[in-house]
């Protein structure tokens, strides 16, 4: 049972590492700031959640879980804030690929 839980924790760590890799590949291949932001959000939320679940599975104590919950909650709270600020400034700077936009709801305000 312990060995199975340890292997499950390592598989979760591997999934988190894979999400980090997808974010890095997305950063390299996407063309403008908002699409790179889209790639960057994956490890920020899901990757940290998977790693936190792996730590909880590996330690198997409730104090560790109590310490991990604020980490995940802080990530959930700050990732959208961060993306909002960066995306807004990217739009104002004009570093958005206009040809790929379907609807530009801010077009008449700027």
Partner 1 sequence: MSVDAIQTALIVAAHVLFAVAAALTIVRIVRGPSILDRAVASDVLLTEVLCLLGAEMVIHQHTRTLPVMLIVAAVGVFGSIAVARFVARRDQ
Say which residues have a Cβ less than 8 Å from residue 99's Cβ, sequence separation at least 6: none
Q: What are the helix (H) ranges across 30-61?
A: 33-42, 48-59
Fill in the DSSP letter of residue 45. Answer: I
Q: How far is the CB of 39 from partner 1 (least distance, A)?
A: 8
Q: How far is the CB of 103 from partner 1 (least distance, A)?
A: 22
Say which residues have a Cβ less than 8 Å from residue 89's Cβ, sequence separation at least 6: none
Q: How far is the CB of 19 from partner 1 (least distance, A)?
A: 8
Residues within the interface to partner 1 (CB under 8 A): 3, 6-7, 9-11, 13-14, 16-18, 20-21, 23-25, 27-28, 33, 36-37, 40, 43-44, 47-48, 51-52, 54-55, 58-59, 64, 67-68, 70-71, 74-75, 78-79, 81-82, 85-86, 88-90, 92-95
Q: How far is the CB of 30 from partner 1 (least distance, A)?
A: 10
Contact 79, 73 (CB under 8 A): no
Nearer to partner 1, 88 or 100 (CB): 88
Contact 25, 87 (CB under 8 A): no
């Amino acid at each position: 049972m312990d060995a199975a839980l340890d292997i499950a924790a390592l598989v979760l760590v591997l999934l988190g590492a894979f999400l980090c890799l997808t974010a890095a590949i997305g950063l390299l291949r996407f063309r403008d700031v908002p699409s790179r932001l889209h790639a960057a959000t994956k490890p920020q939320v899901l990757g940290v959640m998977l790693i936190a679940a792996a730590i909880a599975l590996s330690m198997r104590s409730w104090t560790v879980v109590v310490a991990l919950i604020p980490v995940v909650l802080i990530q959930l709270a700050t990732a959208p804030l961060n993306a909002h600020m960066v995306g807004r400034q990217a739009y104002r700077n004009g570093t958005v690929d206009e040809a790929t936009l379907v609807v530009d709801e801010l077009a008449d305000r700027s």
